Amino acid sequence: MNENTPAAPALKRILTRRDLILYGLVLLGPTAPYPVYGIVQQTSHGHAALAYLVAMVAMLFTAASYGKMSGAFPSAGSTYTYVQNALNPHVGFLAGWAMILDYFLIPLLSVVYGALTANRIIPQVPYAVWAVLLTLLITLINVRGIRVTARAGNVMMALMSICAALFILLAARWVVVNHGWAGLLDLRGFYRPGEFGVKPLLLGAAIASLSYIGFDAISTLAEDTIRPERDISIATVLVCVIQTVLCVLTVYMAALVWPDFRSYKDPETVILDISRVAAGAWMMGFMTFILFVACLGSALTGQAGASRLLYGMGRDGVISRRIFAHIDAKYSTPVRGIYVMGAVSLAGSLLLRFQLVVELLNFGAFVGFILVNLSVIRHFYLRRRERRGFGLVTSLIFPLAGAAVCTYIWLNLSWKAQLAGFCWLGLGVVYLAVLTRGFRNAPQSLSSLSEAN
Q: What local confidence, expressed as pLDDT, does residue 127 receive?
A: 86
Pairwise CA distance, residues 101 & 306, whole Å: 10
**pLDDT band per the 50, 70, 90 thresholds, residue 445:** very low
Identity at 443, one-letter amino acid code: P
Please report the pLDDT score of residue 400 as a whole number: 93
Residue 3 lies in a domain: no
Quick check: helix, strand or coil at residue 441? coil
CA dihedral 360, 23, 409, 43 (to 10 degrees): -90
Question: Which pLDDT band, with edges at 50, 70 and 90, does 146 fall under?
Answer: low
Q: How far is CA 408 from CA 80, 92, 360, 381, 413, in A?
A: 22, 22, 16, 23, 9
Whichever domain contains 265, its CATH number is 1.20.1740.10
Asked whether residue 254 carries a pLDDT value surpassing 50, the answer given is: yes
Residue 11 lies in a domain: no
Of 272, 308, 358, nearest to 77 (Cα)?
308
Would the pLDDT of 244 be above 70? yes
- CA dist 316 and 177 (Å) reads 61
Q: Does 197 score more than 50 pLDDT?
A: yes
Give me the sign of the Cα torsion angle 68, 71, 77, 83.
negative
- What per-residue confidence (pLDDT) applies to 224? 72
pLDDT of 452 higher than 50: no
Amino acid, single-letter form, for residue 298: S
Q: Does residue 1 fall inside a structural domain?
A: no
Query: Above 90 in pLDDT, residue 195?
Result: no
Q: Which range has the top average pLDDT, 25-29, 46-50, 231-235, 448-452?
A: 46-50
Whether 1 shows a pLDDT value over 50: the answer reads no
- What is the domain extent for residue 241? 17-452
Q: How far apart are CA 197 and CA 50, in angstroms?
A: 12
**How confident is the model over 98-135, as pLDDT tens digits?**
877 777 787 787 788 777 777 767 788 888 898 888 88
Q: For residue 450, is pLDDT > 70? A: no
* pLDDT surpassing 80 at residue 9: no
Give domain status of residue 2, yes or no: no
The pTM score is: 0.72
pLDDT of 4 above 70 = no
Is residue 375 very low, low, confident or very high in pLDDT (cuts 50, 70, 90)? very high
| Amino acid 256: pLDDT | 92
What pLDDT, on a 0 to 100 scale, did the predictor assign at position 377? 93
pLDDT exceeds cutoff 80 at 35: no
Residue 257 resides in a domain: yes
Percent of the chain predicted with pLDDT > 90: 9
Let me know if residue 4 belongs to a domain: no
Residue type at 205? Answer: A
pLDDT at 451: 33
Task: Between 378 and 13, name the one with better pLDDT.
Answer: 378
> In angstroms, rounded to a whole number, what is the distance separating the alpha carbons of residues 306 and 296?
15
pLDDT category at 169 given cuts 50, 70, 90 is very high
> Using one digit for the tens of pLDDT, what is the confidence trace for 390-422?
888 889 999 999 898 888 878 777 777 788 888
More confident residue, 15 or 418: 418
Q: Is residue 70 part of a domain?
A: yes
| Of residues 252, 258, 300, the one with CA closest to residue 278 | 258
Number of domains in the chain: 1
Instruction: Select the more confidently predicted residue: 87 or 413.
Output: 87
Residues 284-330 have pLDDT tens digits of 888 888 877 777 766 766 777 777 767 777 777 767 777 777 776 67
Task: Categorize the per-residue pLDDT at 448 as very low, low, confident or very high, splitting at 50, 70 and 90.
Answer: very low
Residues 343, 353: Cα–Cα separation, whole Å = 17
Report yes or no on 167 lying in a domain: yes
Spatial CB neighbours of 384, under 8 Å, sequence gap ≥ 6 = 395
